[in-house]
Structure 1
């Protein structure tokens, strides 16, 4: 082919570089920071003679080096992904404490390229008739430069830190662009910020790992275990922080749901508890109705088969009905979801007009809330519920991982978690979960428990763990069994924490893609734009 604009980036890359593994990447983090003399000296030396403001150049080089070295520690083949588009660097100072500019960052990258210190691949954006697709630019350390940073400048994993004034309460406008806001007594931004600092400190000192085993995902992925730092995102540009507010940032939010029970916290097994149909519950509560007393499932309509695929479909329909401002936009959102993950839904797409009609009839007491964009307001309520749960557990120094309305904690603390969830629900919804306890083991329950699956065990117990006399149970019921783990690197990490209390900070876990049946597809002609 002579016309490169018809090629995908992968095809061009294979032609040039073999198989460079561009999907194994970590996004640049502008909030990495350090005051370590070794990094500052390396940054100073590298920008010597470089055009532009010396201090800004040095800061941009410092952040770039920290990001590149962080990727190197996780995996020597991992790429750092960043944007070369100038419009991507319009962050206000509130969220850009290092004052990273497009000019300074690209100048630093280009300088390292000229010194042959990094490998680099320019990004792209395809604008096609059917598909729009793009990839960020990629960079990674060359082995010789990584060795130089460690031998000549003394780089170690301890030099990588986060900016002490990093903003963790983020406000976005209707275009999802972060915008400035002021702290007030009404929005309690400072209180939210202080709690997040305490919560992140607890997570930072907690060993959190994953036993992915031989799990295969729909798409290949790499889990970055160092991403434990959480923040909150509020929406729609309201200075009072009344829309959204969910917790983001943790790597556990990006893994398939089936893997969550394979998470390990301080060498302990975990349990996951979540609210079933929380937005349905909240909307009914607005109408003075306790949905759990109605005895019906939020997503199983009588006109449709009772299958996981239809249940997934009506969950997506509800999400679209709450976030879209009209049914036309809702249909577009549903179609996008169908096209992105068709394996999750019925093989034959239901008629959307009929499905919406049936759904509104099924939930007639709350149907007047649909297609009015109430989603962010509901998210704010479930975020308040999540905050209450996390605060209660953090006060007890119990690490809990939040996936919005779902919570993961060591199995030994399961009762404390459920108690906190009950309190939070009652406080913000007005109805007590005690009346719904009869559904506790059913799918209709507002809280449903997912327990760890049983695995074959051999007659070897976890080493050097005695009984817990207060609970009257063996700690082996709660601790991870090393003999059931096939990954030797995971066993080493567990043993290091068990004996030395050392947490492996920079770990990247590869999860392979399920084998696919080869199929033919037509690739439309696209316009190639450097990005």
Structure 2
């Protein structure tokens, strides 16, 4: 089974395509994009046949071109995985050649971005892929990376050859402790190895090995059938309501279960655990089975505002997003995120208006209403508090995962929730509570 890519709706590219090429893209309802998993690729006899037919391969460039081809084929196949009549899946990859030298500890491949572009151009000549060139503009001052779209002929290729292909990792062990630059983007920083990073890495590797000893399966949602949900970034979020016909179970690739811990700027900011399986929808996660057994997801309720209360020495409300309706609760949750995640009121207003529309005054009204309801933690708002809070919640996750390894319990973290076999639910409940109490000094509230 192919690893699950971390996709998200690309509203900037979707708006650009509908505006500039309405005849071709005017019917796009949703454009999901992702970044290639550059350290992975597809291996099989057909890959070598394509390599020899497309390129003048020498001993000097064979490894680089072969890996770039393997990665390209995997990425294109991932685009096919969830394609439907209403949703376009594609990926972003910069065509530019001005690449910063990769930090050695994160090097997970032999090829460069230029090799990848060369391979993609060759596959475009075969009619497998096409691209919309990236650009900078008023609305996208940081620029949009080139968008690569799969052509229908590649779907036939995948159908014909997928059984003879397998997913491979180009290096034996990828770096699992990642430090990104604080300034933004995904540019990674090097760091000095010490007892802390070594111990952290060993815990992550142990957790990954324990998780992949088990068979994880799920039932995918059918992306054709959906209802309108909440509004984000000026677009209605799709709520998928129907599973694939026949409720056929799909295997979650072991590569999608392997976590990395990602920090931002320093080792006390961020630190959350990430893996491909976290991209499954909530409904899909509800169908997960481990070794054929049913599962349950335990969630730390309104975690970040609760942490703010507790770290100040106060008991938190039962539900920090409490509202009279489900819709208003979801809105309160978003309002709280704007207050916690943004560095000032101006950027929080922009986020609100991008998601919900309206004016800055309307945003301020909703902000002030929430602030009045939570005066004890108001001094933490508009200060990018997410950095500290994600670090705190990642420490809780780290402790719970370590306990699961020691106990031999299969466990998948989803940021502030955990999925395990239903028969292990009471054990997991106790461990989460113990870990939270030990680190924070208060009792958490768990949703089952």
Q: 1:388 aligns with which of 378, 396, 399?
A: 399
Q: What SS does structure 2 have at the residue aligned with 1:355? A: helix
CA deviations on 1:435-458 (whole Å, 9 max, x unpaired) are xxxxxxxxxxx1121xxxxxxxxx
Residue of 297, 314, 322 corresponding to 2:319: 297
**From 168, 172, 190, the counterpart of 2:180:** 172
* Residue of structure 2 in register with 1:216 after alignment: 226
SS in 2 for 1:262: coil
> What's the counterpart of residue 466 of structure 1?
none
State the alpha-carbon separation in 1 of the partners of residues 98 and 257 from structure 2. 24
Residue 429 in 1 paired to residue 440 in 2? yes
Structure number with larger C-alpha Rg: 1
TM-aligned CA deviation for residue 64 of structure 1: 2.9
Equivalent-residue separation in structure 2 for 1:410 and 1:283 (angstroms): 31
What are the equivalent positions in structure 2 for 1:144-293 lying under 5 Å apart?
156-158=164-166, 160-161=168-169, 163-173=171-181, 174-185=183-194, 188-212=196-220, 216=226, 218-219=237-238, 225-226=252-253, 227-235=256-264, 237-238=265-266, 241-251=267-277, 253-291=278-316
SS class of match (2:175): coil
| C-alpha distance in structure 1 between counterparts of 2:221 and 2:173, whole Å | 38
1:191-232 Cα distance to aligned partner (Å, 9 max, x none): 222222222233333322223566736438899943333222
Task: Tell me which residue corresponds to 1:478.
Answer: none
Gaps of 5+ in 1: 343-347, 434-445, 450-531
Residue of structure 1 equivalent to 2:120: 109
User: Residue 81 of structure 1 corresponds to which residue in structure 2?
Assistant: 91
Asked if the contact 2:41/2:73 (under 8 Å) is kept, the reply is: no
Q: Secondary structure at the match of 1:178?
A: coil
**RMSD across aligned C-alpha pairs, in angstroms?**
4.1
TM superposition shift of 1:161: 3.5
Q: Say if 2:263 and 2:272, in contact at 8 Å, map to a contact too.
A: yes
Give the unaligned 5+ runs of structure 2: 1-15, 228-236, 245-249
Q: Secondary structure at the match of 2:111?
A: coil
Normalising by structure 1, what TM-score? 0.64
Is 1:417–2:428 an aligned residue pair? yes
Note the C-alpha offset of 1:349.
10
Q: Deviations over 1:345-369 (max 9, x none)?
A: xxx9993323323322322222111
Contact 1:169 1:231 in 2 (8 A): yes
Task: Determine the structure 2 residue equivalent to 1:48.
Answer: 56
Provide the secondary structure at the position in 1 that maps to 2:384. coil
Change (3 A) 1:427 1:176: farther
Aligned to 1:137: 148
Conserved? CA contact 1:73–1:157, under 8 Å: no
Partner in structure 2 of residue 362 of structure 1: 373
In structure 2, the CA distance between the partners of 1:212 and 1:44, relative to structure 1 (3 Å rule), is closer
What is the distance in 2 between the residues matched to 1:200 and 1:83?
Answer: 28
Instruction: Kindly state the Cα deviation for residue 246 of structure 1 after the two structures are TM-superposed.
Output: 0.8
Aligned to 2:384: 373
Distance 2:193 2:22 in 1: 53
If asked which structure has higher relative contact order (CA below 8 Å, sep 6+), I would say 1
Give the drift of 1:104: 1.1
- 1:479 corresponds in structure 2 to none
Change (3 A) 1:92 1:100: farther
**TM-score normalised to structure 2 length:** 0.75
1:123 to 115, 132, 137: 132
8 A Cα contact 1:44 1:58, kept in partner: no
Q: Does 1:307 align with 2:325?
A: yes
Deviation at 1:329, TM superposition (A): 1.3
Q: 1:139 to 1:130 in 2, by over 3 A?
A: closer
Verify: 1:448 aligned to 2:443, yes or no: no
Query: Cα distance, 1:374 vs. partner?
Result: 1.6
Which residues in structure 2 correspond to 1:49-64 (within 5 Å)?
A: 49=57, 53-64=61-72
